[in-house]
Amino acid sequence: MSTATLTAPSLAPVVGEAKIGLRAHLRHIGALTRRNILWIKQDPESMFDAILMPLVFTLLFVYVFGGAIAGKGNQQEYVNYVVPGLMAMMGMNMATGVGTGFNQDFQTGVMDRFRSLPIARSSVLIAKIMVEILRLIIAVGVLLAVGFALGLSVSNVPGLFASIGLSILFGSSLMWIFLTLGVTMKSAQAIQAMGFLVMMPLQFGSSIFTPTSTMPGWLQAFTDYNPISTLADASRALCNGGPLTHGLTWTLVWTVAITVVMAPVAIYKFRTKSS
């Protein structure tokens, strides 16, 4: 009897997944997204990173490093420089969270419940991304609120919304990477450590916090195509003008490439592990 209990649920989703239509697939995504939102409602502490991180980082870099980088008394000028860059960083930080949360769902047995449901496996991953996008929007909203309180000025309001959309688009592509890590790695701590090792060089070897003109030539060559740096440059150009083509083009290239490569990998790994 125990064999039947274990075998039947694991086969049902695999057999039925190919027969699931688009409407049912969207309904499953909506139901799972609602489940994840209700979980956040029951555990409001899970929103602390989305609310506090942009606040802390903005105040830290403006008042601790802003004077040294932009000159004493020029913190407001630095606000206009660093806030669009921090929008790029928010997407990467939120992406790390989706990986650890996904891994914890495996550890707590939530995914065992999903195994017994005749739903497409991709709907579970997409629902995770939808909720993390919502958290990312909140984080960016807090970041901009703090930025405007500190004197942020934007000359192109439609460009500001375009930069927000670009940051969310790129952040959602990174989530596929961390969903893959959430399936393949053994613990949330391991995912956080891996995220830290990846994020630190990309964030600080970029134009997020400081212009790259003072960096050595080899590092400038890296920052020119570092996706975090190109996103920060594109966001600044969209908000307040400046060279746009290079940053926008390479950000979109990175976004499409990461999604095309990693989304199928994440879905395959999830299907393999949970089947």
Report how far residue 50's alpha carbon sits from residue 63's, in angstroms, rounded to the nearest whole number. 21
Least confident of 69-78, 204-213, 235-244: 69-78
Q: Which pLDDT value is given to residue 112?
A: 65
**pTM of the entire predicted model:** 0.83
Quick one: which of 192, 189, 197 has its CA closest to 178? 192
For residue 2, the model assigns a pLDDT of: 38
Q: Average per-residue pLDDT in the chain?
A: 83
The more confident residue out of 24 and 132 is 132
Q: Rounded to the nearest 5°, which phi and psi values hold at 246?
A: -60, -50
* pLDDT at residue 239, as a whole number: 92
Residues 6+ apart with CB under 8 A from 235: 84, 85, 87, 88, 163, 166, 167, 247
Query: Is residue 178 over pLDDT 80?
Result: yes
- pLDDT tens track for 185-203: 888 888 888 888 888 888 8
- Mean pLDDT of the region 102-124: 74
With 0-12 / 13-18 / 19 or more C-beta atoms within 10 angstroms meaning exposed / middle / buried, residue 61 is buried
Confidence of residue 10 (pLDDT cuts 50, 70, 90): very low
Q: H helices of 18-74, where?
A: 22-42, 48-60, 66-70
Average pLDDT over residues 164-172: 93
Which positions ≥6 away from 116 have C-beta within 8 Å?
A: 9, 12, 13
Domain boundaries, given as residue ranges, for the chain? 2-274
Q: What average pLDDT does this structure show over 227-241?
A: 93
pLDDT at 73: 64
> 186: helix, coil or strand?
coil
Angle at which helices 75-108 and 48-60 cross, to 10°: 150
- The per-residue pLDDT for 16 is 46
User: What average pLDDT does this structure show over 244-261?
Assistant: 94
The token pair that represents 89 in the structure block: 């960083």
